[in-house]
Structure 1
Amino acid sequence: MKDFRKFLRSSYSFKENNGNQNQGTFQGKRPRLVIISRKRSRAFTNVGEIVSMAKRLGFRVVVAEPDADVSGFAKIINSCDVMMGVHGAGLTNMVFLPEKAVLVQVIPIGGTEWLSKTYFEEPAKDMNIRYLDYKIRVEESSLIHQYPADHVVLRDPSEIWKQGWSAVQSIYLSKQNVTLDVNRFRPTLVKALELLHQ
């Protein structure tokens, strides 16, 4: 992963330890946080609240959605110290983060912890990117508006996994959005700040 990341970064002429980082200090600059935005599924429904909370903590915040302009998006990511988003392909842009940046993966409900660890946590660590995750509660999922409280989808995702990948994908990955409890999520961003200053 480290070599792959190095190859991609050199393809875009990115230097190592770019962005605000300078051996763990910011020299008076506020760290930059990028929130990966999604339009269809696994979107944050309260981006404004998340941005406000992050700014109160001292971040400069950018909300961005990956598009066909890979080079332009890569430059945005490369200029940031922390990247956060809900589990999904948009997080693969972590390859453009500066070394020792922080990736924050928001894990939706649905028993996707193994996917989250395999696809993002382990590769991030292999690329010398610090990793944090935040597992949402059922109340933070839009699925509570689609299913009764005692429904198996909310109560026991392992039963849905028994139906196969297509069932998991069609429910947990295609129909679910996230309304972060910003008070509960706040300590995760505080931890990200601590990691940046180490």
Structure 2
Amino acid sequence: ASRAEKVVDAAVDRLVWYAGWADKLAQVVGNANPVAGPFFNLSTPEPTGVVAVLAPEESSLLGLVSVIAPVIVSGNTAVVVSSYSRPLPAVNLAEVLATSDLPGGVVNILTGRAATIAPWLASHMDVNAIDLTGIAGDAALAADLEVAAADNLKRVRRAPAAEPDWSEDPGLEPMTSFLEIKTVWHPMGV
């Protein structure tokens, strides 16, 4: 019970940490760029769109939260394949999200085997990116999914060699993986 309580506390802390970035990410990642000429130039991050997320198999709550939160805090929609062997935290999280202030359809959780569902997500033309973190250690499946994703130029967050230590500071990379940078040029003095 105490171990489960620690995992739930860590998952809540992780959600709060990511929520804190919601109004800061654009200022940290975007920029007013120096330009030599009568222009000014602004770069701003924009969401990629629909992101398929393969949740970690072992860390079915903290890992799940750690792959969903960066996708949605950066403005994307997530289609998540839950842990196959431990789906209950994902199903319970789906219930919580359904009754929270999160708009419907922002997080869509599917249960089933990643090896069965992921090829469809990777090749689906309406999916703009895929996070392979959840299939850490399955190099063959990861390679197949990267090839399937290449058909419509998806962003791919590659699978690590082993499941990460979810208790470590995630940094900005999980959020910036699914952002596009839009740069706008404006004339000055006209």
Give TM-score scaled by structure 1 length. Answer: 0.38
Structure of higher CA gyration radius: 2
The structure where strand makes up a greater share of residues is 2
The structure where helix makes up a greater share of residues is 1
